[in-house]
Amino acid sequence: MSPNTAPRLELYVGPMFSAKTERLIAELKRATYANKRLLVLKPARDTRTDAFIASRQVDANGTVTVTETFPATVIQTREDFLRAVSSNEFDVLAIDEAQFFPLDTPIIDALGWFGREVRTLLQERRDTPLRILIAGLDTDFANEPFGPVPGLMALADRVEKLSAVCMVCGSFDAHQSQRITADSEQVSVGDADMYQARCRACFVEPL
């Protein structure tokens, strides 16, 4: 097996508004130009969009603008994922908002069903140049590891950790997602109406 035929797992991680999806879409465009076959997935728990992924920009007033979109298949369960990848007729598999795929209850490992299936797919297609591109939040609103993303970072061939602009002080080094509502659930879907990107100095630990 030549090094050029080995599959790769690449992650784009960071807080809210750090251009993770924009980065993912940029790679999908490059793959399209190279005539690669694409399969793009998104979790059903991301209810902000339907059958597409979307990059967003937020201005100083908290107004969110969708800047780019890319068609995607919505999945919810392990069975949905297996059905989507069963044909193997893709060279690039991209998944956005991977933090929304839940870990097991009780927790078995750091991967959950989604991370385990990604690991299995890499093994099954070990003699192919498959690229798996995953974008997601690495930490939640409480600055704790979020879903399967940290476990996937440990398996990845490449991790690109992005930062946002702090919405309080303007620092370019914002790595935390600050929830500005009273909701205490780990998964609560929203945009600038619920979250701000903040640097470490401006982040306030939730009570």
State yes or no: is 97 an active-site residue: yes
**86 part of a folded domain:** yes
Give the domain CATH number at 68: 3.40.50.300
The model's pTM is 0.94
**176 part of a folded domain:** no
Q: What is the mean pLDDT of the chain?
A: 94
The pLDDT of residue 205 is 93
pLDDT digits (tens, 9 = 90+) for 49-59: 889 999 988 88
**201 part of a folded domain:** no
Residues 6+ apart with CB under 8 A from 202: 166, 168, 169, 171, 174, 178
**193 part of a folded domain:** no
Cβ–Cβ < 8 Å for 74, 50: yes
**157 part of a folded domain:** yes
Helix (H, G, I), strand (E, B) or coil at 167: coil
pLDDT digits (tens, 9 = 90+) for 5-16: 799 999 999 999
The pLDDT of residue 4 is 65
The pLDDT of residue 61 is 77
Q: How many domains does the chain have?
A: 1
**23 part of a folded domain:** yes
**173 part of a folded domain:** no
Token pair, residue 10, equals 């690449």
Which stretch of DSSP H or E encloses residue 201? Answer: none
- What averages of pLDDT result for each successive group of 10 residues across the chain (207 residues)? 78 97 97 98 93 87 87 97 96 98 96 98 96 98 96 98 96 96 88 93 93
**Selected catalytic residue, list 10, 79, 97, 124:** 97
The pLDDT of residue 2 is 53
Residue ranges making up the domain that contains 133? 3-163
SS (H, E, C) 27-70: HHHHHHHCCCCEEEEEECCCCCCCCEEEEEEECCCCCEEEEEEE
CA-to-CA distance for 196 and 62, rounded, in angstroms?
9
**174 part of a folded domain:** no
Closest C-alpha among 32, 15, 33, 99 to residue 71: 32
The pLDDT of residue 38 is 98
